[in-house]
């Protein structure tokens, strides 16, 4: 019950905060511009669903490549640290199978 009240309070608070921020003329103008951008972008992809799917696929592939590159860089850094530590301790580093 407590978890439900917390989530409801967060949602209601964010809605009320958003509505209160619209009292400012500059915030309303910004919100109108963003809403217009979202509307035109979504109508473009509704008319061309295959492009939407391709765009999502491209983003997923790009994210996958970044994660792979980051993991490779982390492994290289760890191997360099291991090699440096082995020079100070005089122990041979264990070889990991890839």
In a shared domain, residues 43 and 58 = no
Helix residue spans in the chain (DSSP H):
2-21, 25-47, 49-89
Do 37 and 1 reside in the same domain of the chain?
A: yes
Q: How do residues 45-90 score in pLDDT, each as one tens digit?
A: 889 899 989 999 999 999 999 999 999 999 999 999 999 998 888 7
The CA R_g of the chain, rounded to the nearest whole Å, is 25
Statement to judge: residues 9 and 41 lie in one domain:
yes
Kindly report the number of other CB atoms within 10 A of residue 3's CB atom. 7
pTM of the model as a whole = 0.48
- Distance CA(74)–CA(22), nearest Å, equals 45
Residue 95 inside a domain? The answer is no
Residues spanned by the domain of 64: 48-85
In this prediction, residue 92 carries a pLDDT of 64
Indicate whether 2 and 38 sit together in one domain: yes
- State whether 43 and 2 are in the same domain: yes
Regarding whether 41 and 6 lie in a shared domain, the answer is yes
Task: Establish if 90 belongs to a structural domain.
Answer: no
Helices 25-47 and 49-89, packing angle to 10 deg: 110
Which tens digits make up the pLDDT trace of 2-56? Answer: 889 999 999 999 999 999 999 999 999 999 999 999 998 888 888 989 998 999 9
Q: Are residues 38 and 52 in the same domain?
A: no
Judgement on whether residues 38 and 4 belong to the same structural domain of the protein: yes
Return all residues near 79 (Cβ < 8 A) that are at least 6 apart.
93
């Amino acid at each position: 019950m407590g978890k439900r009240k917390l989530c409801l309070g967060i949602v209601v608070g964010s809605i009320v905060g958003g509505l209160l921020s619209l009292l400012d003329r500059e915030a309303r103008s910004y919100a109108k511009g963003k809403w217009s951008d979202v509307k035109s972008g979504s109508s473009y992809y509704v008319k061309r669903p295959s492009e939407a799917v391709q765009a999502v696929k491209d983003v997923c592939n790009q994210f996958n490549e970044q994660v792979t590159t980051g993991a490779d860089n982390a492994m290289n850094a760890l191997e360099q640290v291991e090699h440096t530590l082995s020079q100070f301790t005089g122990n041979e580093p264990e070889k990991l199978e890839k």
